[in-house]
Structure 1
Amino acid sequence: MAKVLVLYYSTYGHVETLANAIAEGARSAGATVDVKRVPETVPEAVARNAHFKLDQTAPVATVDELPNYDAIIVGCPTRYGRMAGQMASFLDQTGGLWARGALHGKVGGAFTSTATQHGGQETTLFSIITNLLHLGMTIVGLPYSHQGQMTLDEIVGGAPYGATTIAGGQGQRQPSELELEGARHQGTLIATTASKLFA
């Protein structure tokens, strides 16, 4: 049975929702799944003034626990077409793991949210995936076996590189059912892959 970590940062809750859907998909494939978040780096007074979602139930992860998992799925919102600073700060602390190859061969994946359809979903996914490749991980994305990402009937996130959602300029849009289906699908694929590799 694969052990999967869904590791995320979420400012307003959109990525948190995707993280839980990914976890649901991984559990459906028989994996043991933990959902954890990275520490907030914005001062609390500033975060509260900006209405950050500070009541998230997921525990805060530490870098040292990452080698305990067979698969790590990383998600955060887009900031100027790249990963949010909170996640970058956390991943910047993995140098010791990189130096000893502690994550070599483990399965990785990425997911994100943007305000708009063209706000940098794919570049943000790649900014996460680049880190995972440097850590020696095997990447599983969101292939077109999730056909919902090809619909022309509604606005929808998703890319071959990972699950995504579109939040709206004021955060007014929550992940759609098609986007949640994509997240579950990616979670299932990653858990299945990890199970095959670590059986």
Structure 2
Amino acid sequence: MPAKIAVIYYSMYGHIKQLASKAVEGAKTAGATVDLYQFPETLADDILGKMHAPPKDAAVPFITPNDLKEYDGFIFAFPTRYGRAVAQVSAFFDATGSLWATGALTGKFASTIVSTASQNGGQETTHLTTIPYFAHMGIIYVPIGYGDQNLLNLNEIHGGSPYGASTHAGGDGSRQPSELEKGVAEYQGKYFAGIVGTFVAGKAAAQ
């Protein structure tokens, strides 16, 4: 039985969505069954309009807390806000209290993809400040290390760290994810799916 993985993103201007889509591609090459979701929006339409945010992709469903129970692992992809996850992600995590109370996510796996405006905008802190949620839920966090040697590339400015893929959007959002950054996201999807798939196969064989 292949691993079931949900890639769940929040992306106001499309930067994170690009990385999430590459993670989906990578996970599928590892043989996983993969579904793409969005975090629910918390901002009103008039506020989004003032922020010149494009419409959400109607083809990608919004995740619900109960959906999480159906998957072996999750790749969460979202921008940073002052060194931590944006409010939309925090609001969703806060809505999973019943899953915490029942231990419904214990033993599942998670990995994170992030973005910032600048090089020093808090990419690693955003990964780090999300790990406590995983700990409370009993979710096993999977970093990527330096398995993708592109993370060591010093010839260009790029996101990405041993915690996971990331991108720099620029202060005005004009910078798009580079090929290197998208490649790291694809690697992350493949690596994560391989880890989760190995666990799922081993668990099935032990039963």
TM-score by length of structure 2 reads 0.93
Question: Unpaired runs of 5+ in structure 2?
Answer: 202-207
For the aligned residues, what is the CA RMSD?
0.9
Deviation at 1:58, TM superposition (A): 1.4
More moved, 137-146 vs 81-90 = 137-146
- Out of 100, 109, 112, the residue aligned to residue 110 of structure 1 is 112
Correspondences of 1:9-88 after superposition (within 5 Å): 9-56=10-57, 57-88=59-90
How many percent identity over aligned positions?
A: 46
Say which SS state the counterpart of residue 47 (structure 1) adopts.
helix
For the residues of structure 2 that align with 1:131 and 1:28, how far apart are their CA atoms? 28
Q: Corresponding residue for 1:190? A: 192
- Computing the radius of gyration over CA atoms, which structure comes out larger, 1 or 2? 2
Q: Which runs of 4+ in 1 moved over 6 A?
A: none
Deviation at 1:125, TM superposition (A): 1.1
Say which SS state the counterpart of residue 130 (structure 2) adopts.
helix
Say which SS state the counterpart of residue 55 (structure 1) adopts.
coil
Deviation at 1:137, TM superposition (A): 1.1
For the residues of structure 1 that align with 2:62 and 2:111, how far apart are their CA atoms? 19
Conservation of the 8 A alpha-carbon contact between 1:74 and 1:128: no
For the residues of structure 1 that align with 2:167 and 2:66, how far apart are their CA atoms? 30
Say which SS state the counterpart of residue 133 (structure 1) adopts.
helix
Deviation at 1:55, TM superposition (A): 3.1
For the residues of structure 2 that align with 1:5 and 1:132, how far apart are their CA atoms? 15
For the residues of structure 1 that align with 2:163 and 2:194, how far apart are their CA atoms? 17
Question: Unpaired runs of 5+ in structure 1?
Answer: none
For the residues of structure 1 that align with 2:166 and 2:132, how far apart are their CA atoms? 17
Conservation of the 8 A alpha-carbon contact between 1:14 and 1:174: yes
Say which SS state the counterpart of residue 198 (structure 1) adopts.
helix
Q: Aligned pairs, how many? A: 199
Q: Deviations over 1:18-39 (max 9, x none)?
A: 1101111100101110010111
Q: Deviations over 1:65-95 (max 9, x none)?
A: 1010011111110101110000000011111
